[in-house]
């Protein structure tokens, strides 16, 4: 403090402290590895190709939704309607194929439907200036209701059989959905970390007022984030439809909470400004492994729910402790 | 001796916030506490008020050693604190806030609302505070909220009241009200600890002074034995190279012109112009419309009528986005709320208003970002560990410099500074003024709002004085405080603070 003329700017903080912080950051990842090893030891069926690819397939849908949710949560928002978006996208995509459109066009229709729903959420949130929680609570009902109306409540079955490849096929020995998931994760990661949109996403979530005062087009970028979230959910909807081989107006109920849980376990903060793609992936896989492991070990599905709930609270508690400690250091 | 603190130590993680804090307070004295930000005053106060616990050292309360673990324990033995930032419940009434946590209780949690209101109003009228018990706290001005906190301390019969920079958000007449209350407390033999950054107000209140620097007590003596320059020396630990004074430059092109600006209930017929190389001060009391003027020019609040020219071109500015695009920058008075993303790194904050400047086709160029950030950290002497340090962990002065760096990187040309030195220490203030001077030299035009007239007299080439949303006078830079006050305070009554 005593010599303002000399600015001391070391390039990086002290090494040991940085290592400790990195180690604490890695905690979710380490937990995932430990969980993986523990399950491998506890159940002979765990480390089989069939089981592992089934974990991947089960997790992929939630995971892809959670990627979009990550961006939304970083802005300080939330999207409760993703389960409904998943259903309406899968349904409309399936209907397009039933009407004779090709599979790629059907998938595109589903993705665009998701995009449109996300855009609608974003526009209502930014133009009507209503809290995201309220808007998406409303659209949850609207999207789900619309899906039920246009389908008369009945699933769409007449889908080309090759469509199952999207959710159930393999490419180069691994489930095709894994490739899609990786592509989506890389896309979201690059958007968040390396683009202007990503920078604005963090800025808006960290301090919306400051972002406005810095001249950032906050409304536009907030809307864009919800639209991207909707788009990813639309894709997830098509994968879900492919796995079920039906367009289900009732699909994806409660998925929104799983997606939110994945983000939160991965270090996302509902206050905004924090979250990462890697974290969310780990969060989703921790939940996926827990439910798969419970199945393999014969744990009752009732208990399973309670375990996952407890893990959410535990993960966030540990993360809070870490943040408080680094804040004090 | 009411309170005695000996060699108090406190560390947060690896950082020593307080290494040797000593302080004695007697009943019926007003004890001033001075020091730059980060000198350890606030930490010591938090220890006294039971907000944090000390690591080492001795705290004697009326001669007996105490270890306070919560603010409630401190309140129970008669210590209360009036916070700088109001800690009241905004949706509740004044009376409810006064009795918060100490309601007179009947069985089943019933509260005696009527009696509470009456008691609160009795207390208020006894002290002639301009408040009513049934008013909702959110409708009060900062001064009014401060009064509520003071009432609370009095109501609970505290024998030691800590004031943490009580006047930093108050106008002159409101500050006088606080001084009057402090004097009343002194007459009632209450001990008062008074933290302040405003050296000009010391004479109005203090008996003794304790000065902190770098986590330790460096000086204690009666106020009468100290001069202002001695105090500054103790605070900064070095001779300040004379009090800063700026030389005017020959003004250049007109960068901002405002004619007949009106805003319902806030601004009335404002006209002025700003030239390159000029620093124009805006003086006035709280509520005169100074912040409102900045917000209107920056497009935060809409105007009803009037014309604005930026760099010779007439513009209609409807949003901060348009203002920034036009080359206007606003350094707000509450930098933590509207200036900085505290949970993001310095580098992100510095480039926040000009992300385009560090990106190509929408993709960020991190090298460009870090080079720019490191450059400004060096140029503005921002004391930070690295470009990745979070802004929330910088001191007030350094945060302010990050805000300024953000606008420098945006290459803004018209700067609106709203209370740029609020809550920052003496050394950082001089540095902020230096930056403003350099800005002016490089051809920017600066509008500077400040409640500290001394600052305006040091820095401004011209001073516009506002009252009731109007510009009531224009004065040359080398004028007097009396002249400013005449334009600012004429007819202004202090009774109404609602």
- Residue B248 located in a structural domain: no
User: Higher-confidence residue: B497 or B124?
Assistant: B124
Q: What is the CATH number of the domain that holds B141?
A: 3.40.50.300
Interface of A with B in 56-75 (CB under 8 A): none
Q: Residue B431: list chain A partners with CB under 8 A.
A: 4
Dump pLDDT digits (tens) for B217-276: 988 988 888 887 778 778 766 544 445 567 777 878 999 999 999 998 889 999 999 999
CB contact under 8 A, B341 and A207: yes
- Residue B245 located in a structural domain: no
CB contact under 8 A, B237 and A200: no
Which residue does chain B place closest to A220, by CA atoms? B321
| B174/B287 same-domain check | no
Distance CA B412, CA B325 (A): 9
| B209/B288 same-domain check | no
| CA-based nearest distance B246→chain A, Å | 19
Categorize the per-residue pLDDT at B491 as very low, low, confident or very high, splitting at 50, 70 and 90: very low
Categorize the per-residue pLDDT at B114 as very low, low, confident or very high, splitting at 50, 70 and 90: confident
| B451/B354 same-domain check | yes
CB contact under 8 A, B339 and A211: no
Q: Residue B410: list chain A partners with CB under 8 A.
A: 215
CB contact under 8 A, A216 and B374: no
The partner residue sitting opposite B339, judged by closest CB among A200, A202, A213, is: A213
pLDDT of residue B241: 45
pLDDT of residue B233: 75
Dump pLDDT digits (tens) for B272-300: 999 999 999 998 877 788 999 999 999 99
| B89/B198 same-domain check | yes
pLDDT of residue B106: 64
Cβ contacts of A317 within 8 Å, gap of 6 or more: none
Looking at the complex, does the CB of residue A9 fall below 8 Å from at least one CB of chain B? Answer: yes
The partner residue sitting opposite A217, judged by closest CB among B236, B321, B323, is: B321
Q: Residue B356: list chain A partners with CB under 8 A.
A: 196
| CA-based nearest distance B332→chain A, Å | 9
Q: 3-class secondary structure for chain A?
A: CCCCCCCCCCCCCCHHHHHHHHHHHCHHHHHHHHHHHHHHHHCCCCCCHHHHHHHHHHHHHHHHHHHHHHHHHHCCCCCCCHHHHHHHHHHHHHHHHHCCCCHHHHHHHHHHHHHHHHHHHHHHHHHCCCCHHHHHHHHHHHHHHHHHHHHCCCCECCCCHHHHHHHHCEECCEEHHHHHHHHHHHHHHHHHHHEHHHHHHHHHHHCHHHHHHCCCCHHHHHHHHHHHHHHHHHHHHHHHHHHHCCECCCCCCCHHHHHHHHHHHCCCCCCCCCCCHHHHHHHHHHHHHHHHHHHHCCCCHHHHHHHHHHHHHHHHHHHHHHHHHHHHC
Dump pLDDT digits (tens) for B30-84: 999 887 666 788 889 889 988 888 888 999 999 899 988 888 888 888 898 887 6
| CA-based nearest distance B236→chain A, Å | 7
| CA-based nearest distance A23→chain B, Å | 17
pLDDT of residue A80: 95
Instruction: Give the residue numbers spanning the domain of B319.
Output: 254-489
| CA-based nearest distance A10→chain B, Å | 6
| CA-based nearest distance B435→chain A, Å | 13
Let me know: does B351 contact B345? Beta carbons within 8 Å.
no
What's the total number of domains in chain B? 2
The partner residue sitting opposite B332, judged by closest CB among A202, A213, A329, is: A213
pLDDT of residue A238: 96
Dump pLDDT digits (tens) for B189-226: 889 999 876 666 677 778 899 998 878 898 898 888 88
Query: What is the number of CB-based contacts under 8 A between chain A and chain B?
Result: 123
| B476/B398 same-domain check | yes
| B232/B258 same-domain check | no
| B309/B220 same-domain check | no
Categorize the per-residue pLDDT at B141 as very low, low, confident or very high, splitting at 50, 70 and 90: confident
Residues with pLDDT less than 50, chain A: 1-14, 329
| B319/B352 same-domain check | yes
| B281/B191 same-domain check | no
CB contact under 8 A, A194 and B364: yes
pLDDT of residue A11: 39
pLDDT at B170 over 60: yes
pLDDT of residue A185: 96
Which residue does chain A place closest to B358, by CA atoms? A196
Looking at the complex, does the CB of residue A22 fall below 8 Å from at least one CB of chain B? Answer: no
| CA-based nearest distance A13→chain B, Å | 6
Mean pLDDT (chain B, rounded): 84
pLDDT of residue B492: 42
| B99/B11 same-domain check | yes
User: Higher-confidence residue: A200 or B423?
Assistant: A200
Interface of A with B in 170-209 (CB under 8 A): 194-200, 202-203, 206-207, 209
Distance CA A274, CA A76 (A): 9
CB contact under 8 A, A195 and B237: no
Which residue does chain A place closest to B322, by CA atoms? A215
- Residue B403 located in a structural domain: yes
- Residue B249 located in a structural domain: no
pLDDT of residue B198: 67
Looking at the complex, does the CB of residue A244 fall below 8 Å from at least one CB of chain B? Answer: no
Q: 3-class secondary structure for B20-79?
A: EEEEEECCCCEEEEECCCCCCHHHHHHHHCCCCCCCEEEEEECCEECCCCCHHHHHHHCE
| CA-based nearest distance B480→chain A, Å | 30
| B289/B225 same-domain check | no
Write the ipTM: 0.81
CB contact under 8 A, B339 and A5: no
């Amino acid at each position: 403090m005593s010599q303002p003329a000399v600015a001391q700017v070391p390039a990086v903080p002290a090494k040991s402290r940085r290592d400790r912080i990195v180690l604490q950051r890695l905690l979710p990842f380490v937990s995932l590895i430990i969980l993986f090893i523990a399950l491998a030891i506890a159940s002979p069926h765990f480390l089989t190709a069939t089981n592992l690819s089934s974990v991947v397939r089960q997790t992929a849908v939630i995971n892809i939704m959670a990627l979009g949710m990550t961006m939304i949560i970083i802005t300080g928002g939330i999207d409760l309607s993703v389960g409904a978006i998943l259903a309406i996208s899968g349904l409309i995509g399936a209907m397009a194929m039933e009407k004779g459109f090709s599979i790629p066009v059907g998938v595109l229709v589903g993705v665009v439907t998701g995009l449109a729903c996300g855009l609608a959420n974003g526009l209502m949130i930014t133009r009507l200036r209503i809290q995201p929680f309220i808007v998406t609570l409303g659209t949850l009902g609207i999207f789900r209701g619309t899906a039920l109306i246009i389908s008369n409540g009945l699933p769409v079955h007449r889908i080309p059989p090759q469509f199952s490849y999207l959710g159930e096929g393999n490419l180069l020995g691994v489930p095709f959905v894994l490739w899609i998931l990786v592509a989506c994760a890389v896309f979201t990661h690059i958007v968040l970390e390396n683009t202007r949109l990503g920078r604005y996403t963090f800025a808006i979530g960290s301090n919306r007022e400051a972002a406005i005062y810095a001249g950032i087009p906050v409304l536009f970028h907030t809307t864009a984030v919800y639209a991207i979230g909707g788009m990813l959910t639309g894709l997830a909807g098509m994968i879900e439809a492919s796995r079920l081989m039906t367009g289900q107006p009732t699909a994806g109920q409660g998925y929104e909470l799983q997606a939110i849980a994945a983000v939160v376990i991965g270090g996302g903060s509902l206050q905004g400004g924090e979250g990462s793609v890697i974290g969310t992936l780990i969060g989703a896989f921790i939940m996926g492994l827990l439910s798969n492991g419970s199945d393999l070990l014969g744990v009752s599905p009732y208990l399973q729910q309670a375990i996952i709930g407890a893990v959410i609270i535990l993960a966030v508690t540990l993360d809070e402790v870490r943040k408080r400690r680094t804040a004090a250091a | 001796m009411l309170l005695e603190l000996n060699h108090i130590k406190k560390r947060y993680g690896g950082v020593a916030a307080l290494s040797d804090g000593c302080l004695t307070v007697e009943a019926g004295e007003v004890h001033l506490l001075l020091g730059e930000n980060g000198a350890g005053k606030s930490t010591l106060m938090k220890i006294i008020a039971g907000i944090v616990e000390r690591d080492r050292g001795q705290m004697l309360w009326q001669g007996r050693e105490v270890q306070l673990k919560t603010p409630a324990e401190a309140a129970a033995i008669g210590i209360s604190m009036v916070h700088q930032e109001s800690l009241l419940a905004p949706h509740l009434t004044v009376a409810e806030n006064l009795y918060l946590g100490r309601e007179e209780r009947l069985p089943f949690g019933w509260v005696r609302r009527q009696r509470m209101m009456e008691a609160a109003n009795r207390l208020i009228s006894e002290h002639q505070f301009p408040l009513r018990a049934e008013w909702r706290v959110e409708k009060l001005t900062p001064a009014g909220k401060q009064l509520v906190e003071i009432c609370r301390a009095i109501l609970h019969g505290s024998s030691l009241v800590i004031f943490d920079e009580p006047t930093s958000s108050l106008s002159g007449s409101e500050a006088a009200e606080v001084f009057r209350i402090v004097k009343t407390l002194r007459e009632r033999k209450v001990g008062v600890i008074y933290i302040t950054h405003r050296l000009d107000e010391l004479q109005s209140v203090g008996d003794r002074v304790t000065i902190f620097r770098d986590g330790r007590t460096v000086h204690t003596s009666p106020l009468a034995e100290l001069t202002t320059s001695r105090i500054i020396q103790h605070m900064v630990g070095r001779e300040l190279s004379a009090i800063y004074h700026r030389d005017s430059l020959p003004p250049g092109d007109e960068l901002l012109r405002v004619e007949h600006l009106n805003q319902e209930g806030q601004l009335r017929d404002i006209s002025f112009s700003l030239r390159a190389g000029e620093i124009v001060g805006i003086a006035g009391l709280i509520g005169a419309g100074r912040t409102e003027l900045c917000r209107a020019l920056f497009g935060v609040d809409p105007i009803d009528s009037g014309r604005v020219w930026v760099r010779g071109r007439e513009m209609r500015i409807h949003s901060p986005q348009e203002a920034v695009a036009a080359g206007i920058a606003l350094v707000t008075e509450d930098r933590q709320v509207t200036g900085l993303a505290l949970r993001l790194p310095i580098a992100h904050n510095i480039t926040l208003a000009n992300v385009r400047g560090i990106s190509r086709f929408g993709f960020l160029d991190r090298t460009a970002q870090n080079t720019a950030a490191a450059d400004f950290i060096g140029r503005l002497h921002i004391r930070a560990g690295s470009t990745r340090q979070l802004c929330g962990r910088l001191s007030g002065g350094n945060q302010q410099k990050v805000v300024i760096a953000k606008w420098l990187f945006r290459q803004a040309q018209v700067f609106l500074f709203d209370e740029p030195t609020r809550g920052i220490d003496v050394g950082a203030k001089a540095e902020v003024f230096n930056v403003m001077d350099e800005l002016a030299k490089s051809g920017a035009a600066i509008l500077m709002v400040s409640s500290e007239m001394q600052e305006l007299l040091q820095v401004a080439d011209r001073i516009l004085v506002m009252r009731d949303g109007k510009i009531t006078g224009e004065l040359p830079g080398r004028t007097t405080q009396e002249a400013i006050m005449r334009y600012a305070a004429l007819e202004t009554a202090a009774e109404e603070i609602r």
